[in-house]
Amino acid sequence: MTKLDMQSPDLTEANIEKLAELFPNCVTEAQDENGKLKRVIDFDQFKQELSDHVVDVPRERYQLNWPGKREALLAANAPIAKTLRPCREESVDFDTTNNLFIEGDNLDALKLLQETYLNKVKMIYIDPPYNTGNDFIYKDDYSELEGDFLRRSEQKDQSGNRLVINTDSNGRFHSDWLSMMYPRLKLARNLLRDDGLIFISIDDNEYSNLKSICDEIFGASNGLISFIWPLPRGINAGHISRAHEYLIVYAKQKSILPLFNKLGSSEFTIDRCNKKVDRRHPASEITFPPGIKYEGPDKTISGKISGSEEIEINGSLEFKNGKLVKKVTLKAGWTMKNMILDWLDGKTVYDNKGQEIIEFFFKENGKLYSKKRLKYESPKTILQNVPDTQYARKEIEELLGSQDIFSYPKPSGLIKRLIELSTNQNDIILDFFAGSCSTAQAKYEINREKGINNQFILVQIPEELDSTDITHKAAIEFCQSNNLPENIAEIGKERIRRAGKKVFGEKCNESWNKDIGFRVFKIDTSNMKDVYYTPDSIGQEGLFGQVDNIKDDRSNEDLLFQVLLDWGIDLTLPIKSEKIANRVVYFVDEDALAACFEPGIDEEFVKILAERKPLRAVFRDSAYGSDSAKLNVEQIFKLISPVTEVKTI
């Protein structure tokens, strides 16, 4: 019976596996720092495989580089031995909600989510530090990457040691920011669905650098035109008052990315079907039969319709009682010639966006127009009718009582627009720089209005508030008056609770499932003792102290969610517990997983459980008592429920 790994996946090893399938001759063996053999890539051979000439020296190439880039790449791939511990008392509707709030370092969170949410997230929105010289960034320590990852992972996640102000006097001002962003974006890309996309708020400080690393991580061909978010009041500093910020947009695979959803109430669009004659729209003839719809008073037009989009009339355009009276041939620069011809042949016609063309008709000026049923839209680069930062502050005041609790919150209306454009039903939205948690409120409002049931995953480090910082005064007062620990994550969770109640009290679409809850998880060290990961390090004299490899302060529910992470099972699935033969068993989504972490597993209990035929079953390794008892459990499941995958921790 195999054991669960109980750690995040080693992405370097996974990448080696992929390359080994394509280039087996590029995989070799080398000794690690402990003298053990491991598989590695022969990069010289790999370069040769990808070249049509003899490779000898590195060539110059276009790329973004900075001190620490290689370490940042290693940081993305290195595994960690951490877990998500559920926190019911801080959650809302823990047992029924589909939303997640993860408290802790977002680099750790992204690693822990790799198995469960790989290729499942439809949309990512993040509002990272802009690197202005006054804001906090993560201080990632890469010095131990080549050492024992377990030793590093066992360090407590203390926010005070993880966030530092990156002043512009720092000699690595841009490099430190890039090293922070690179591994997080690389891991985030893995979570996106193939038809997913990411929106990143940024200003001019790091816009070009952020574009460059996104080009490298997502591929330049997957970049979309950036949105411009107008800030009417502007920021009066420097030579030019800055009155906008950017939203960088990248797709996972642009070739299959659907067009953006239509917004607004308009059901149809009317478009002219002829253009000025040029190389793209050469003049050609189309013959129109009588009976085609006409909008305007009865009239006859002959000869030529002059203007920049000239139309030659072979015969005459004769209109009467709202219809074309007789056949006519027109010569013009058509924009939709093939679609017009197909429609005239009686075929159902769609434009290149997949929108149905209901009809073609003539207007009073004698020109042809199309009527399309709107389904998609191509939004303008400059976002219109989107709230600005002042509105965001008022939004915070309405919910929390003060505009000054968050320094630069994003308005939920901005994120709401992005969600409307890019998601549909039951999509997952991820924000791993959650901050003021505007993303949660935006999601609640969209679900309520549209009757859809999207989910959110928010990640926020418990950034401590500084009593000596005047900008933290309102936030500290809010925490004290509401008996909350004084950190940003706690305020974010309270904002979500209040936003949920506000949305729930408003008129809602009947199709909405009314989910205003969220499961809170906190990143912590693994539930497993060191011996679980490094059994060779325990001497014979210490074996009796390691009979149970689970830490003493961990609950069965802690173990359950680490198992879900390791097995890649959705963290929002419904969970119920039952007593079977006087033992508590957790059932996840009815039969997706049966987990029992109690001691003294015997045959009678296992037979009853196997009759339920779960897809997976997991027990404590110490619960069997002996190797023969463990073997009996495997045999019972093979006889009664051969489909069940059985593992231990």
309-364: per-residue pLDDT in tens?
899 999 899 999 999 999 999 999 999 999 999 999 999 999 887 889 999 999 99
Tell me whether residue 217 is exposed, middle or buried, using C-beta atoms within 10 angstroms of its C-beta: 0 to 12, 13 to 18, 19 or more. Answer: buried
Residue 145 amino acid letter? L
d(CA 526, CA 80): 9
Q: Is the dihedral of CA 19, 21, 23, 24 positive or negative?
A: positive
Q: How confident is the model at residue 347, as a pLDDT?
A: 94
Please compute, for residue 374, the number of CA atoms within 13 A of its CA located in the half-sphere on the CB side: 14
**Is residue 324 within 8 Å of 291, Cβ to Cβ?**
yes
| H or E element that contains 644 | none
- Relative to beta strand 242-251, strand 192-202 is antiparallel
**Is residue 388 within 8 Å of 376, Cβ to Cβ?**
no
Residues 191 and 81 in one domain: yes
Instruction: At 531, list the tokens.
Output: 């011996």
- Give the domain-ending residue among 351, 373, 395: 373
517 Cβ contact list (under 8 Å, min separation 6): 91, 92, 93, 94, 96, 97, 99, 500
Angle at 646 between CA 645 and CA 647, to 5 degrees: 125
- Identify whether 528 is part of a domain: no
Q: How confident is the model at residue 184, as a pLDDT?
A: 96
The band of 146, judged by pLDDT with boundaries at 50, 70 and 90, is: very low
Beta strands in 433-568, from DSSP E residues, in sequence order: 455-460, 519-525
- Give the domain-ending residue among 373, 408, 438: 373
Q: How confident is the model at residue 631, as a pLDDT?
A: 86
Share of the chain above pLDDT 70, in %: 91
| H or E element that contains 517 | none
Residues 392 and 509 in one domain: yes
For residue 647, is pLDDT > 50?
A: yes
Q: How confident is the model at residue 14, as a pLDDT?
A: 83
d(CA 559, CA 552): 12
d(CA 606, CA 600): 11
| H or E element that contains 494 | helix 488-504
d(CA 561, CA 6): 10
Most trustworthy range by pLDDT among 44-58, 151-165, 633-647: 633-647
Residues 199 and 337 in one domain: no
DSSP state of 296: S
**Is residue 209 within 8 Å of 102, Cβ to Cβ?**
no
The band of 376, judged by pLDDT with boundaries at 50, 70 and 90, is: confident
- Between 626 and 64, residue with greater pLDDT: 64
Q: Which has the minimum average pLDDT: 137-141, 163-167, 259-263, 519-523?
A: 137-141
Residues 383 and 369 in one domain: no
Q: How confident is the model at residue 362, as a pLDDT?
A: 96
d(CA 485, CA 330): 75
For residue 96, is pLDDT > 90?
A: yes
Tell me whether residue 3 is exposed, middle or buried, using C-beta atoms within 10 angstroms of its C-beta: 0 to 12, 13 to 18, 19 or more. Answer: middle
The band of 142, judged by pLDDT with boundaries at 50, 70 and 90, is: low
The band of 134, judged by pLDDT with boundaries at 50, 70 and 90, is: confident
- Identify whether 71 is part of a domain: no
**Is residue 558 within 8 Å of 522, Cβ to Cβ?**
no
Residues 163 and 81 in one domain: yes
Residues 598 and 471 in one domain: no
Crossing angle of helices 69-77 and 173-191, in 10° steps, is 30
The band of 108, judged by pLDDT with boundaries at 50, 70 and 90, is: very high
The band of 59, judged by pLDDT with boundaries at 50, 70 and 90, is: low
d(CA 91, CA 101): 9
The band of 547, judged by pLDDT with boundaries at 50, 70 and 90, is: low
Q: How confident is the model at residue 16, as a pLDDT?
A: 86
Average pLDDT over residues 23-27: 78
Q: How confident is the model at residue 558, as a pLDDT?
A: 96
For residue 55, is pLDDT > 70?
A: no
**Is residue 523 within 8 Å of 550, Cβ to Cβ?**
no
- Identify whether 426 is part of a domain: yes
For residue 373, is pLDDT > 70?
A: yes
248 Cβ contact list (under 8 Å, min separation 6): 199, 200, 202, 207, 210, 211, 214, 223, 226
Share of the chain above pLDDT 90, in %: 63
d(CA 180, CA 139): 8
Q: Which has the minimum average pLDDT: 82-86, 376-380, 408-412?
A: 376-380
Q: Which has the minimum average pLDDT: 7-11, 125-129, 211-215?
A: 7-11
- Relative to beta strand 519-525, strand 82-86 is antiparallel
For residue 641, is pLDDT > 50?
A: yes
624 Cβ contact list (under 8 Å, min separation 6): 601, 630, 633
- Identify whether 3 is part of a domain: no
For residue 587, is pLDDT > 90?
A: yes
d(CA 151, CA 81): 9
Residues 332 and 409 in one domain: no
- Give the domain-ending residue among 523, 556, 573: 523
272 Cβ contact list (under 8 Å, min separation 6): 309, 335, 367, 368, 369
Please provide residue 242's backbone torsions phi and psi, each rounded to the nearest 5 degrees. Answer: -80, 120
The band of 128, judged by pLDDT with boundaries at 50, 70 and 90, is: very high
For residue 144, is pLDDT > 60?
A: no
Task: Report pTM.
Answer: 0.84
For residue 544, is pLDDT > 50?
A: no
Residues 399 and 499 in one domain: yes
Average pLDDT over residues 453-473: 94
Q: How confident is the model at residue 185, as a pLDDT?
A: 97
d(CA 91, CA 496): 10
537 Cβ contact list (under 8 Å, min separation 6): 530, 531
d(CA 509, CA 146): 53
Average predicted confidence (pLDDT) for the chain: 88
- Identify whether 302 is part of a domain: yes
- Identify whether 612 is part of a domain: yes
Q: Which has the minimum average pLDDT: 77-91, 293-307, 328-342, 617-631?
A: 617-631
Three-state secondary structure string covering 9-68: CCHHHHHHHHHHHHCHHHEEEEECCCCCEEEEECHHHHHHHCCCCCCCCCCCCCCCCCCC
d(CA 563, CA 605): 21
The band of 159, judged by pLDDT with boundaries at 50, 70 and 90, is: very low
Q: Which has the minimum average pLDDT: 181-195, 315-329, 506-520, 530-544?
A: 530-544
> Percentages helix, strand, coil for the chain, rounded to the nearest 5?
30, 25, 40
Residues 517 and 552 in one domain: no
The band of 74, judged by pLDDT with boundaries at 50, 70 and 90, is: confident
Alpha carbon 356 to its chain centroid, in Å, reads 31
Please tell me the total count of domains within the chain: 4
Q: Is the dihedral of CA 563, 493, 179, 19 positive or negative?
A: positive
- Identify whether 155 is part of a domain: yes
For residue 249, is pLDDT > 60?
A: yes
d(CA 125, CA 438): 11
Q: How confident is the model at residue 256, as a pLDDT?
A: 92
Q: How confident is the model at residue 17, as a pLDDT?
A: 84
Residues 187 and 244 in one domain: yes
Alpha carbon 438 to its chain centroid, in Å, reads 15
- Identify whether 54 is part of a domain: yes
Average pLDDT over residues 188-214: 96
Please provide residue 329's backbone torsions phi and psi, each rounded to the nearest 5 degrees. Answer: -110, 130
**Is residue 453 within 8 Å of 430, Cβ to Cβ?**
no
Q: How confident is the model at residue 157, as a pLDDT?
A: 44
Q: How confident is the model at residue 150, as a pLDDT?
A: 46
Average pLDDT over residues 602-611: 92
Q: Is the dihedral of CA 599, 603, 608, 611 positive or negative?
A: positive
Q: What is the residue range of 31's domain?
A: 11-61
d(CA 518, CA 562): 18
Residues 234 and 176 in one domain: yes
Length of the chain counted residue by residue? 649
Residues 178 and 259 in one domain: yes
Strand, coil or helix: 194? strand
